[in-house]
Each structure stands twice: as structure tokens, then as C-alpha cells.
């Protein structure tokens, strides 16, 4: 197998290598921002005029992508890293400017939304597994200080939207197949009349898995109905997701990953490690424009998410009477509401917009733990070892105002006050397992401000600053780092101070250049203390700093050719030293992490180059991705090497009766490079590495029909 190491000088080779290819899919994901972006919570201001880094990825008709995962469309956004784990028992790893990189499952440190409904719980734990890409029309990404206006754990914001057309009806049906037994079926119908509109999408993904013991099946449905009572609009959003018994191959040691990247850890098959998730959710969004420039927006949602997970926890470890067992059973009921008023008008004869609102969310969790054995049989549910009912809720208030106070100057200011409370009631109490009940409350106010200067119509210069905070999630509180009884209510929230300087330029024919310098200084950084048997515990590691540069450009080279570039340099380090555990079973930290050590899970450099060609019926695409080396533990003595990957795409359209038939083919990792796709930070057994797939093929057909 071939290998590649990523070096700084490789960045200079990327444009040359990509220019000899042919990129961008049929109506490939196109990154735009000269539109109003809802992530900024401004009703009348283009993203171009906001003092923040904002991208909107318009998905078009899907192009040469199977539309099975959010990560497919995020490659060209600087500062954002989406790692596919080749493991559907765990969610995609997402990080923005280093926030969220430590997450061993789910999404941490970022705020997520689907059709305006939160996909992040009030404690900051989120997931994108239920994001239905077959029905998606665009993805918005917000980076920088103004993310804090979305509340707790706002290192960045990602929103997915399914749109409803203004009129007419249309349908799309897709079937695709690929390497490793990947099969994707999907369909979407949508339309609109005078008083109602709809968008309904369903998808099914099945895979045998690139790695052994990684087969999975996912079913997803997303339905959105829009009613228009008078001037108002009322959206009803229904979401269903089901993923039964997704196999978990676990991570590999360095020796295992380099010897055979497709293998599973032996204990994965021994304990039949797996995870089942089922989620049903209903949301409603009501918007009522009234009076002159006033708008009222109300959102409410509720849902249930059930999780059952079998871990590879040895029976000997469960002999400890404080151990919670090797089977996790979580029943989550959650819901919330948000009410926001905004007004668009003039202040002192200049454009002005102000908004204010409040929101409250609550999650109720019934957490049970069981032994993962019955006698000699492993990987089965055994005796009860944990039974507790947890609640977390938040009550927030927020406000922001934008004012173009001079012909070429504008300012955006805002603040959010958050109060998040955790409570746990233990129902599993024995002579050797004491009452673990407890509660804790976190409260912070987060101010933000930004200034924009427009020396010419095509150029914006801006500066912004703000504060943010990140509480531990219930999953992070769930296990104490010292192995003792009770929850880790001694964890403190991480407090960050964020700054950004940026430039945005827009030229003719869609040309654009964006650049940003950023820094985030964090106190009480939350870090993984140890990760054993699929169970993580956390600690506050002192001060940390994330700083870097982001560059992005899009150029129309010719009527049929388009070039897109993105580059990120990110320096993420611990500013304070701290002691840690480095071996399985360790509860007393004995190894010192030196100040200046890199934060694990964060690549120092990453880049993307796309060169696209679009003909009348044919289109072709080539993409070159480069990612720097990533440390896998706090000491930084092990790392996953950097890599470069080449992806190729081809698509063709044919008329098909009253519709259009599109065929597509895709080759990912066309040069068949060995690489580590993701890492499990501080895995206590040294199984840090999750190898990425080798050369993979995908082919598919997509039929479009529209009645306008």
C-alpha cells in the first residue's frame, strides 16, 4: 500500500496538480454568500456585509455525489474539517477552527440546525445523523465570534435547509451503488400552490463497510409543509431516523492500522460492539410580518431519541462495584421554544435592524447501564449496573443590532445571556454504590461586536470580537476522571475570547476572494482525561489558544471552467501544562503535558482545490484535498500523518420524456493513498486510528421531473 506524508511545501504543489485535472460536478456544490444568511440572524443584510466568516453551499441538483452524508459538501470551506470515520455507529467528526476536534462521538463545540430546528441539545451535544441530504438544498456555515449569539458551545454554526419552491411541482428519484457494498436509494417531491407548499424526502443507506465489522443501515425521512395564512408563514417539519445495530469496528493501534487498515479490533467482534439509534422529531416555525418593518418569529420543537450501545468493556473492569457496565441504554425526550422580534427601518436616516428574543430548551434523559455478558456469553445485555434520570435545561435571552451609520461603514453588536442547569437523580443505589445524585448550574453573558468598512463597492474589510463559553455535556459529566462514584459536577465551563480580522472581495462573473485572521483564547479548556472501552471522561486543562489564517477564492476561468481554492493554517495549543493519565485503568494523572503542546485532533494545515468543467450535457470534476498531520493524544508523542487525496467526478444528462435523467460516476481517493481518516483522541488502549477508505467507486442514476 502507498503512503504519503503532508509537508508544508506540499501546499505549493496543490494548485499545479489540480489544474491538470478537471473538476466541479454537474451543478456541483457552489459556495455563495451574496444572499441573506439565516445563521447571522439578520433579516435584511447580505452575508457580504456582515463582520463574520460565512459560507452558503448551494447543492443544486446533487451533481456527482451520492447525497448520503453531510461531509460530502463541506470540503471547500476553510476552517471546517469533516472527518468520515468509516464507522456509521459513530457520527461524522466535525470541527471549526479547532472547536469540536476532541469529540469521540457526536458533535461537540458547534451549534447545529436542520430547517431552523436545533440539532444540538441544551448541554451542547449534537448530532447530524438525521440530516437528510436527499432533501437538502443548501448548507450555511458561520465561523468566528458571532457564533456565540447562538448560545452554549458555539465554536461555529452549521445549518441545513430544505427549500420549498415558489410555484409548481417537481420530483427526484435516485439510486446509487459503490464499493464495499454501499447502496443509496432516495426520493424527493416538492411543490407549492397559492396557500401551501411541501418538500418531502426519504432515503435509505446500506453498507457492508470498508472495515470489518462495520456494516450498517440508515433510514431517514424529512417532511416540511408550509402554510400561508395571510401575510404569515407557518412551517411544519417532521423528521424520522432509524439506524438499527450499526456495527462498530473501534479504533486501531498504529501497528494494526499500518498492517491492515480494513481490520477491526479483535474485541469488537468478541463483544459484537454495535449501536442502535432511533429518532422522531416535530418542529414548527411561524413568521408574521406586521406593522412597518416588524417581524415576529416563533419556533417550537420536540422529539425523542433512543440509543442503545454495546461496548467492548472487559468483565474484569465491571467487577468494580462503581462500574456502570458495558451496555448503554439512553432514552432522551427533548424540546424547546424560541421567540424573536425584529425590526428593519432607519436610524438617523441610515439603514438599521434590531432584534431581540428568548429561548428555552429542555432534555430529559433516562440513562441505564447493564453488564455486556451473561455467564460466558459476551455482547448480550446482562444485569443492571446503572439507573438514573437526568435533566438539563437552558433559559437564554439575546439581542443584536446592525446599523449602517455612514455610507461606507456599518456596525453589528449583540449579546446573549445563557443559564444552563444540570440535575441527576440516581435510582441505582447499593451498599457498594452510593447515591450519585447531584446538580450544577452554569451562567454566562456573551457580548460580541463587529465593524465593517467598504472602501469600494466590491470590497469589505471587517473586525470583530466577542466572548463565548462551552459547558460540559451530560456525556462528559457522566464519568469521573478518577474513576470514583458520582458524576463529574466539578467540571467548569470553558470560557473563550475571540477576535477576527477579515477581507471579502467580489468581482465580475462570480469571482471572489475571502481572507481572515482569527484567534480564540480559552480558559478552563475541556479535554479528554481518558478514553477506555468506548467511555470517555474529561477534565479542565487550563488555558488554550487557537489562531490561524483562512483563505478562499473562486474564479471563473472560462465560460465552462471554474476554479475554487481554500486553505487553512491553524495553530491550536495548550497554553498551560497539566497532568494526565496515559494508560488503561489509570485514575491518578502522573504524566505532565508541557505548555505549548498541540491540541490533539487538529490539523495545522488543510487545503482544497477544485477545477470544474461544465459542457452542455457532460460535466467533469477533480478535487485535490490536503490535510496536515494530527496528534492523537495530549502528550503529542503519537500522530496520524498528513495526506493528500484526489477525487474525480463525471456526470451526463439525457432528456427523459417530460423530465431529465442524470448519470454520474465518482472515484474517491483515486490514487489509492493510505491515510488515517479520523482519530479517537486519548484512547486509553492506544487504539487512536480510524483508517480512511482506499480507492472507492460510486455510480448512480438520478431522474428529475418538474411541472412549472
CATH code, domain carrying 42: 2.40.170.20
What is the average pLDDT across 387-392?
Answer: 94
Query: What is the overall mean pLDDT for the chain?
Result: 90
What pLDDT was estimated at residue 5? 36
Residue 7 pLDDT more than 80?
Answer: no
First to last CA, the chain: 52
Characterise 230 by phi-psi region: left (phi > 0), alpha (psi -120 to 50), beta (else): left
Q: Is the dihedral of CA 593, 595, 598, 599 positive or negative?
A: positive
In this structure, of 73-87, 263-277, 382-396, 401-415, the range with the lowest mean pLDDT score is 73-87
Query: Residue 258 sits in which domain range?
Result: 2-707
Report how far residue 185's alpha carbon sits from residue 200's, in angstroms, rounded to the nearest whole number. Answer: 14
What is the average pLDDT across 299-328?
Answer: 93
In this structure, of 62-71, 346-355, 503-512, the range with the lowest mean pLDDT score is 62-71
The b-or-e profile of 499-515 (16+ CB within 10 A means b, else e) is bbebebbbeeeebbbbb
| Domains held by the chain: number | 1
Give the total residue count for the chain: 708
Burial of 25 (0-12, 13-18, 19+ CB in 10 A): buried
Report how far residue 516's alpha carbon sits from residue 569's, in angstroms, rounded to the nearest whole number. Answer: 11
Structural contact between residues 416 and 397, judged by C-beta atoms closer than 8 angstroms: yes
What pLDDT was estimated at residue 31? 59
Report how far residue 693's alpha carbon sits from residue 236's, in angstroms, rounded to the nearest whole number. Answer: 39
Residue 501 pLDDT more than 50?
Answer: yes
If pLDDT is split at 50, 70 and 90, which confidence band does 1 have? very low
91, 143, 166, 359, 518 from 571: Cα distances, Å = 25, 16, 45, 35, 10
Residue 268 pLDDT more than 60?
Answer: yes
Pairing verdict, β 156-161 and 111-114: parallel
What pLDDT was estimated at residue 12? 33
Q: Identify the residue with better confidence: 26 or 443.
A: 443
Report how far residue 410's alpha carbon sits from residue 99's, in angstroms, rounded to the nearest whole number. Answer: 29
What pLDDT was estimated at residue 584? 63
Output the CA angle 641-645-646, nearest 5 degrees.
Answer: 170
Report how far residue 331's alpha carbon sits from residue 98's, in angstroms, rounded to the nearest whole number. Answer: 30
Percent above pLDDT 90 for the chain: 72
In this structure, of 121-125, 345-349, 515-519, the range with the lowest mean pLDDT score is 121-125
Burial of 232 (0-12, 13-18, 19+ CB in 10 A): middle
pLDDT tens digits, one per residue of 186-227: 999 999 988 999 999 999 999 999 999 999 999 999 999 999
pLDDT tens digits, one per residue of 646-678: 999 999 999 988 899 999 999 999 999 999 999
Output the CA angle 217-222-225, nearest 5 degrees.
Answer: 170
Residue 10 pLDDT more than 60?
Answer: no
Pairing verdict, β 2-3 and 673-674: parallel
pLDDT tens digits, one per residue of 407-429: 999 999 999 999 999 999 999 99
If pLDDT is split at 50, 70 and 90, which confidence band does 21 have? very low
What is the average pLDDT across 566-576?
Answer: 96
What is the average pLDDT across 142-161?
Answer: 93
Report how far residue 353's alpha carbon sits from residue 343's, in angstroms, rounded to the nearest whole number. Answer: 6
Residue 533 pLDDT more than 60?
Answer: no
3-class DSSP assignment, residue 372 = coil
Percent above pLDDT 70 for the chain: 93
**Residue 430 CA to its chain's centroid (Å):** 40
3-class DSSP assignment, residue 510 = helix
Residue 513 pLDDT more than 80?
Answer: yes
pLDDT tens digits, one per residue of 436-477: 899 999 999 999 999 999 999 999 999 999 999 999 988 888
104, 271, 402, 476 from 217: Cα distances, Å = 21, 20, 46, 28
Amino acid at each position: 500500500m502507498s503512503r504519503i506524508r503532508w509537508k508544508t511545501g506540499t501546499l505549493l504543489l496543490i494548485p499545479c496538480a489540480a489544474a491538470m485535472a478537471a473538476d466541479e460536478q454537474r451543478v456541483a456544490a457552489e459556495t455563495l454568500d451574496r444572499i441573506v444568511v439565516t445563521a447571522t440572524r439578520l433579516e435584511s443584510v447580505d452575508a457580504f456585509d456582515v463582520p463574520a466568516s460565512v459560507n452558503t453551499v448551494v447543492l443544486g441538483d446533487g451533481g456527482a455525489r451520492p447525497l448520503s452524508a453531510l461531509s460530502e459538501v463541506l470540503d471547500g470551506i476553510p476552517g471546517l474539517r469533516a472527518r468520515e470515520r468509516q464507522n456509521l455507529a459513530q457520527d461524522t467528526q466535525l470541527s471549526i477552527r479547532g472547536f469540536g476536534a476532541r469529540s469521540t462521538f457526536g458533535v461537540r463545540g458547534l451549534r447545529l440546525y436542520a430547517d431552523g430546528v436545533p440539532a444540538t441539545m441544551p448541554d451542547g451535544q449534537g448530532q447530524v445523523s438525521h440530516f437528510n441530504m436527499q432533501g437538502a438544498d443548501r448548507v450555511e456555515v458561520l465561523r468566528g465570534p458571532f457564533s456565540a449569539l447562538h448560545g452554549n458551545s458555539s465554536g461555529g454554526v452549521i445549518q441545513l435547509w430544505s427549500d420549498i419552491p415558489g410555484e409548481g411541482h417537481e420530483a427526484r428519484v435516485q439510486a446509487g451503488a459503490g464499493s464495499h457494498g454501499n447502496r443509496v436509494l432516495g426520493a424527493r417531491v416538492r411543490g407549492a400552490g397559492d396557500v401551501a407548499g411541501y418538500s418531502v424526502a426519504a432515503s435509505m443507506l446500506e453498507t457492508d463497510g470498508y472495515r470489518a465489522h462495520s456494516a450498517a443501515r440508515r433510514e431517514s425521512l424529512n417532511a416540511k409543509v408550509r402554510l400561508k395564512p395571510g401575510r404569515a408563514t407557518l412551517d411544519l417539519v417532521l423528521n424520522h431516523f432509524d439506524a438499527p445495530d450499526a456495527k462498530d469496528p473501534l479504533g486501531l493501534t498504529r501497528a494494526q492500522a499500518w498492517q491492515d487498515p480494513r481490520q477491526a479490533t479483535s474485541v469488537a467482534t468478541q463483544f459484537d460492539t454495535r449501536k442502535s439509534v432511533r429518532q422522531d422529531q416535530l418542529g414548527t416555525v411561524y413568521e408574521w410580518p406586521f406593522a412597518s418593518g416588524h417581524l415576529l418569529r416563533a419556533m417550537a420543537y420536540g422529539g425523542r431519541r433512543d440509543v442503545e450501545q454495546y461496548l467492548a468493556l472487559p468483565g474484569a473492569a465491571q467487577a468494580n462495584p462503581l462500574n456502570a457496565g458495558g451496555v448503554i441504554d439512553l432514552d432522551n425526550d427533548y424540546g424547546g421554544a424560541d421567540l424573536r422580534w425584529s425590526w428593519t427601518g432607519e436610524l438617523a436616516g441610515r439603514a438599521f435592524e434590531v432584534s431581540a428574543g428568548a429561548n428555552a430548551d429542555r432534555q430529559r434523559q433516562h440513562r441505564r447501564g447493564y453488564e455486556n455478558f451473561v455467564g460466558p456469553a459476551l455482547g448480550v445485555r446482562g444485569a443492571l449496573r446503572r439507573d438514573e434520570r437526568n435533566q438539563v435545561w437552558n433559559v437564554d435571552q439575546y439581542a443584536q443590532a446592525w446599523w449602517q451609520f455612514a455610507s461606507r461603514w456599518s456596525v453589528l453588536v449583540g449579546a446573549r445571556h445563557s443559564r444552563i442547569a444540570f440535575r441527576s437523580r440516581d435510582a441505582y443505589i447499593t451498599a457498594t454504590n452510593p447515591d450519585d445524585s447531584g446538580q450544577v448550574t452554569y451562567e454566562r453573558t456573551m457580548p460580541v461586536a463587529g465593524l465593517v468598512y467598504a472602501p469600494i463597492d466590491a470590497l469589505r474589510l471587517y473586525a470583530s470580537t466577542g466572548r463565548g463559553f462551552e459547558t460540559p455535556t451530560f456525556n462528559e459529566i457522566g464519568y469521573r476522571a478518577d474513576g470514583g462514584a458520582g458524576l463529574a459536577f466539578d467540571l467548569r465551563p470553558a470560557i473563550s475570547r475571540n477576535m477576527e480580522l477579515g477581507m471579502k472581495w467580489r468581482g465580475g462573473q462570480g469571482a471572489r476572494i475571502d481572507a481572515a485572521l482569527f484567534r480564540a483564547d480559552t480558559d478552563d479548556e475541556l479535554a479528554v482525561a481518558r478514553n477506555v472501552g468506548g467511555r470517555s471522561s474529561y477534565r479542565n486543562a487550563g488555558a488554550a489558544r487557537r489562531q490561524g489564517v483562512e483563505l478562499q477564492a473562486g474564479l471563473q476561468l472560462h465560460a465552462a471552467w471554474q476554479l475554487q481554492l481554500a486553505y487553512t493554517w491553524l495553530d491550536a495549543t495548550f497554553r498551560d501544562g497539566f497532568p494526565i493519565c496515559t494508560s488503561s485503568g489509570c485514575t491518578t494523572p502522573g504524566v505532565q503535558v508541557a505548555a505549548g503542546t498541540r491540541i490533539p485532533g487538529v490539523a495545522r494545515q488543510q487545503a482544497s482545490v477544485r477545477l470544474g468543467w461544465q459542457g452542455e450535457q457532460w460535466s467533469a470534476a477533480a478535487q485535490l484535498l490536503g490535510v496536515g498531520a494530527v496528534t492523537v493524544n495530549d502528550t503529542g508523542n503519537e500522530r496520524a500523518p498528513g495526506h493528500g487525496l484526489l477525487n474525480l467526478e463525471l456526470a451526463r444528462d439525457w432528456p427523459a420524456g417530460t423530465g431529465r435523467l442524470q448519470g454520474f460516476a465518482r472515484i474517491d481517493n483515486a490514487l489509492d493513498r493510505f491515510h488515517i481518516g479520523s482519530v479517537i483522541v486519548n484512547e486509553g488502549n492506544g487504539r487512536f486510528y480510524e483508517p480512511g477508505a482506499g480507492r472507492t467507486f460510486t455510480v448512480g442514476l438520478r431522474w428529475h421531473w418538474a411541472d412549472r
